[in-house]
Amino acid sequence: MKETLYICLFLSFIILTACNKDDETIKPSIEEEMENPEPNDEERFILQPEETTNFMVDPAATPETVALFYNLKINSETSFVVGQQDALAAFYQNLAGDADMKKTTGSNPGLLGSDFMFITDDQNNENPENWFYQQELKITSDAISAYNQGMINTFCWHFREPYEGKSFYTSEMTSFQKFNAFKSILPGGENHEYYKLKLQKVAQVAQNFIGANGSLAPVIFRPFHEFDKDFFWWGNIYSTPEEFKEVWRFTVEYLRDELKVHNFLYAFSPDNSYLSKEAYLSRYPGDEYVDVVGMDNYGDIISQDEVGISIANEKLKVVSDLALEKVKVAAFTETGYFVNPFENSLTENFYTENIYQVLTANNIEIAYMIFWQNYTDSYTVPTPGMPGEQDFIDFSLKEDVLLLKNMPDMYSFPEQMAARIRLN
């Protein structure tokens, strides 16, 4: 009997031990569960069409502008739009005609980048023979054409300093101009009225972006970009964080409330100097003044190595996380590697691996990204026969990459929602 009892006890011990080992193998520790929580779909906020204006800068935005915000936000969960600066006007080797991206891929970019620089230049006298006015007409025409095709318009602003109106680069300014230009456009500053005149010109042009369907083309307006560096006069060493926020808030309120511009989304885009959410937000003017959170980044991309690409992705992850937290649109607002075939070269699979990794690793959700423009002697988007051509084509064919040819309608809501917005 004793022997039978001992045998039973021994077998029970073996079974219990085996069960415990199996449990250890299958069940993670409490610490592991805390570090890697299971995704909870109920916790994720899903933007509804009727709620969209609650998260926008302008509650009175046009229906098309509201729809653009909504569609950018929703589509960013699964895809991102690819665009290029001056895609309809700047060409590698001056080979005009189709956009360089279309020459290579068969499709226009999904987004057109433009600039208010020439439009607001002091020398633009709106005379038909004036070169700056001719540029205004060309830029305006391209923006309207882009809208008519279904593309998205975004405008930056290389705003010339207000004292002499000659440059936006601090390397070309006097010490006095560098350290006083931004402060001078603050409310009460010596150049504040000058600044208001420039905003009036911006508003005049924006309110004439009338498409073939009679509606105003929405614009993603991106003022004071790369403000965390010192090469522009709006750079961070030339103003305090509070002064920067004050100018930003004035800009939004003057355009929206005084000048009645209701086809703008406002984009906030530092360069790549930040490493944390806190650093990114150091000059952030507030959720009620920003629609798009973005990042410009050339410095980390230029290395074309794994370290730089990983760092760029981590910084873009900060933007993506903030957009999820604040219900904003996230974007990679400027990037590119400038290829001059006689001076430098692309690494193999630069677009399909390097750029794609920046945009997609770590579950990033980005609504759009934009390559800077092609120049006569260099390009960020390869043209037929140039190094990187096939790699860019392969990049454009990825399932989550949207060019114009496979882009959904960005300006429409369900009809009942559009009617409700019009009533408001």
Known catalytic residues are 226, 334
Sign of CA dihedral 237, 239, 245, 251: negative
Cβ-contact 64, 411 below 8 angstroms:
yes
Per the DSSP assignment, residues forming a β-bridge with 230 are none
Structural Rg of the chain based on CA atoms: 26
Q: How far is CA 245 from the centre of its chain?
A: 19
For residue 361, what are its two tokens?
A: 């690793």
Cβ-contact 387, 341 below 8 angstroms:
yes
CA distance 71 to 153: 14
